[in-house]
Amino acid sequence: MKLIKKGIETIMKKDVFSEKILTDEIIFKTIYNELNYQTYESESIIPLIDEMNNPLCHWLISGCASLIRVDDNIRTFPVTDITSFGLVGGAFFHKNYAIVTDIDSVISSQYVSDLRTIISDQKGWGDLMTLQNEKVDKYISYYDNMSGREAYSEICFLLSIIMKLPEHIRMKLKLSKFIIQRTLISRSMTLQILSKLKESFHIHVFNGYLLSIRQLPTNKFW
C-alpha cells in the first residue's frame, strides 16, 4: 500500500438525513465538517481494522475500489461513487475483508465508533439502515450471479459490470485482469473465452481494454 498524497478539504455541513433519496454522498457531506483524505496508488489494500482490531470505515471519494476477501484475494464488484466501506458490519466482516484500489483513488478513513456517535447524535440510523439494506441487496445479487455458475456465465456477468463503469475508469482496467481478480477461473480459460467473444465480434477490445459489447450469447456457442 502506497500513499500518494494527503490533505484536508473543508465541506459544507447540513442536516440532510430527512432527504427522500439518501446516498452515501449525502451522508458523507452531512457528518463531516472537514475531509481528511489520502490518495492511494492502484492495487493498495486497506484493512477494515487497525492494529488493535478496532473497526474502521473508509470512504471512497474518487477513483475506483472494491471489497477484497483477505484469505484468497477475490474481489467483488468495483465502486466509483462516494461510498462507505465498513460503516455497518460485524467483527467477522471487518477482519476478513479489506478494500483494494483498482486505480489511484482518494479515500478518507475514520473509526466506526466515532461515526456511530455522530450518526446517533443526528438521529440518522433509520435512514442509514434503509440505505445499507439496499447495498446489501446489491452484494447478494452479485454473489448470486458469481456462485456456482459456469465460467462462461461468470465472465459474461463481469463483462456487463465493467461495461457500466465510466469510460475514463474502464479504460484504466485491463479486461482479463479485472475478471481473473474476481473469479476462481484460470487465466487460460479466461483468455480462451474472451478470445472466442472477440472473434465473434461480441466484444471489442483494444490493447486489453474493453471498448464495447454486443448482446452476448446466453450459452457458449463453440
Q: What is the pLDDT of residue 48?
A: 97
Q: Looking at residue 99, what is its pLDDT?
A: 97
Same domain for 181 and 136, yes or no, is no
Same domain for 167 and 79, yes or no, is no
Percent of the chain at pLDDT exceeding 70: 81
In-domain check, residue 219:
no
pLDDT at 27: 67
The residue ranges of the chain whose pLDDT is under 50 are 8-20
Identity of residue 178: F
Task: Give the pLDDT score at 17.
Answer: 41
In the prediction, which pLDDT does 130 show? 72
Same structural domain for residues 17 and 67? Answer: yes
Domain boundary among 115, 146, 177: 146
Q: How many CB atoms lie within 10 A of CB 104?
A: 18
Domain boundary among 146, 163, 195: 146
**178/169 Cα distance (integer angstroms):** 12
Q: What is the pLDDT of residue 34?
A: 58
50 within some domain: yes
Residue 39 sits in the same domain as residue 21: yes
Mean model confidence pLDDT for the chain: 85
The reply to whether 201 and 91 lie within a common domain is no
Domain containing 130: what range?
A: 3-146
Count: domains in the chain: 2
Q: Does any domain span residue 131?
A: yes
pTM: 0.82
Residue 162, pLDDT score: 97
SS (H, E, C) the chain: CCEEEEEEEECCCCCCCCCCCCCHHHHHHHHCCEEEEEEECCCCEEECECCCCCEEEEEEEECCEEEEECCCCCECCCECCCEEECCCCCHHHHHHEEEEECCCEEEEEEEHHHHHHHHHHCCCHHHHHHHHHHHHHHHHHHHHHHCCCCHHHHHHHHHHHHHCCCHHHHCCCCHHHHHHCCCCCCHHHHHHHHHHHHHCCCEEEECCEEEEECCCCCCCCC
pLDDT of residue 12: 38
